[in-house]
Amino acid sequence: MDEQKRRPKGDGSIYWIPNSPFAQMKVVIDGKVFKKSSKKTTDNEAYAVLQSWRSKLQAGTLTETEEKGGGAKVNDLWNAVRNDYVRREHKSLDGTEQRWNRNLKPFFGHMRAAKVTNQHIEAYIRKRFEDPSPRGQVKGATIGRELGLLRRCFKLGMRGNPPNVRVMPYIPQFKDHKRTGFLKFDMHDTIVEACRAETPLGELWLEAIFESAYTFGWRHGMITPLLVEQVHIVSPAEGYLIIPDSKNGEPVEVPLHLNERLIPLYLELIRGKKPGDLVFTRGANQRPVMRFDKLWRKVCRRAGVTGKLLMHDMRRTAAKRMAKSGMRKEVIKRICGWITDSMFQRYNIVENSDVASDAGKLKALDERERQGARELVKLEGMRKSGQVRECAGENRYNIGTTPRKAQHRTASIGSPSGIPNSKSVKELTGTVR
């Protein structure tokens, strides 16, 4: 009682409960009651812990969750990430949630965020590499994307007020081995024939999906949900596709006449359908086209494609074709649905043949410079010998032995004499004295 009387009001209290060797602490902050075991067996030691604990609560460096449960769990951090995805209407939420529930949650979900160490991260990496998978060994890029999600959980947890976690363990990054596959132009017609052969007679949906991906560089998920009302055919030679809400949140409008095959295909696909119907359907009962991975593999085998060619590789193919055609980067990004330059560079694959072609341009430039230097040397020699002189008042050279004849004997580029005309000399040398 004497001890409690000496403590100032609001300083908290220490009490004992039956069957516990430790003193219990109690403090009220902003009308909230906090209770906790001091883990001490004497009043003086417990009071010292109480003072430190109370000061942290008043400064806001401890949360109620931390005091009642020992700190936020990693699963609580994931809930904050999920809410952030929902708020921003992120369209990759389904895949991200599947990655969390399948791999990260069983390992980290039950752990306190403050207790996650570098050793736990390394143990998770070893476990993922050793896990049997029907598709073979898990690649480092896959683990890197999973750890990137875990890193996002910790970063959002540290941004809270007060923060749910204060220290983030070191989470290594893995090199992302991006695919470089694309379809060469000479294989296009072969793939079209294989699409027609592998689908029932009269069904054009697979050919139309391939042509759309090959032309616009769109994902499978952008093409198959197209509705009839999004297809605008102005004439047999002009038409447009409009996607009001793409994955990046920006509307996309592209001309169908970029590829002369598309307008007849889309006219056939939307024939007899209502504005709200899907463009891409299959079978007599007009089933929606979802996934067709097995069918696409059959198409590639029939076409004689070597290696693994994905429908997503048409995205790189389209970007490469549009860049080689001379289209501006901003236009390509608009058509393909990219916002940043980094995404454009990721898909704009440069081949060795492209390097060799541009190297030929550099060689041609060197040859032109050498030819110009040779002409200047020859011209200087003619000036010294008196065969060429500068006309008064004009920065050009005239060829001749006498001033009277010089006005009528001006040489030109490409003449048998090989002497450059006055305009070319001026362009090459500027004002020559």
Domain annotation covers residue 165: no
* Domain extent for 154: 74-158
Q: Is the dihedral of CA 222, 223, 228, 234 positive or negative?
A: positive
My answer on whether 205 and 296 are in the same domain is yes
Residues 228 and 275: beta-carbon distance below 8 Å: yes
| Final residue belonging to a domain, choices 290, 315, 347 | 347
Tokens of 42: 């004497």
My answer on whether 232 and 287 are in the same domain is yes
Q: Cβ-count burial of 255 within 10 angstroms (0-12 exposed, 13-18 middle, 19+ buried)?
A: middle
Domain annotation covers residue 171: no
pLDDT digit string, tens, across residues 266-298? 999 999 999 999 999 998 889 999 889 999 999
Quick one: pLDDT at residue 419? 43
CA atoms within 13 A on the CB side of 82: 14
Quick one: pLDDT at residue 108? 93
Distance CA 42, CA 53 (A): 16
| Final residue belonging to a domain, choices 34, 62, 90 | 62
Which one-letter amino acid corresponds to residue 110? H
DSSP at 102: I
Tokens of 376: 């200047």
Domain annotation covers residue 177: no
Sites in the chain below the pLDDT cut of 50: 1-5, 64, 69, 392-395, 397, 401-433
Helix (H) or strand (E) holding 37: strand 32-37
Quick one: pLDDT at residue 59? 67
DSSP at 278: B
Residues 311 and 222: beta-carbon distance below 8 Å: no
Quick one: pLDDT at residue 155? 93
Neighbours of 39 (CB within 10 A): 12
My answer on whether 224 and 327 are in the same domain is yes
Backbone angles phi, psi at 417, to 5 degrees: -75, -20
Tokens of 261: 């095959």
Domain annotation covers residue 254: yes
Phi-psi region of 414 (alpha: psi -120 to 50; beta: other; left: phi over 0): left
Q: Give the DSSP letter string of 317-385.
A: HHHHHHHHTT--HHHHHHHHT--SHHHHHHH----HHHHHHHHHHHHHHHHHHHHHHHHHHHHHHHHHH
Distance CA 349, CA 180 (A): 7
Closest CA to 71 of 116, 113, 120: 113
Quick one: pLDDT at residue 114? 86
My answer on whether 402 and 378 are in the same domain is yes
| Final residue belonging to a domain, choices 39, 62, 85 | 62
My answer on whether 109 and 249 are in the same domain is no
Tokens of 13: 């209290």
Domain annotation covers residue 322: yes
Quick one: pLDDT at residue 409? 44
Give the ranges where 32-139 is alpha helix by DSSP (H): 43-59, 64-69, 74-87, 93-99, 105-108, 118-130
Domain annotation covers residue 291: yes
Domain annotation covers residue 356: no
Domain annotation covers residue 118: yes
Distance CA 109, CA 98 (A): 14
My answer on whether 193 and 150 are in the same domain is no
Backbone angles phi, psi at 429, to 5 degrees: -115, -15
My answer on whether 215 and 330 are in the same domain is yes
Query: CA–CA distance from 181 to each of 314, 350, 408 (Å)?
Result: 9, 11, 63
My answer on whether 285 and 393 are in the same domain is no
Quick one: pLDDT at residue 78? 93
Quick one: pLDDT at residue 205? 94
DSSP at 200: P
> Which residues, 6+ apart, have CB-to-CB distance to 393 below 8 Å?
none
My answer on whether 299 and 369 are in the same domain is no
Closest CA to 284 of 202, 222, 173: 202
- Label the pairing between strands 238-243 and 231-235: antiparallel
Output the CA angle 254-255-260, nearest 5 degrees: 135
Tell me how many domains the chain contains: 4
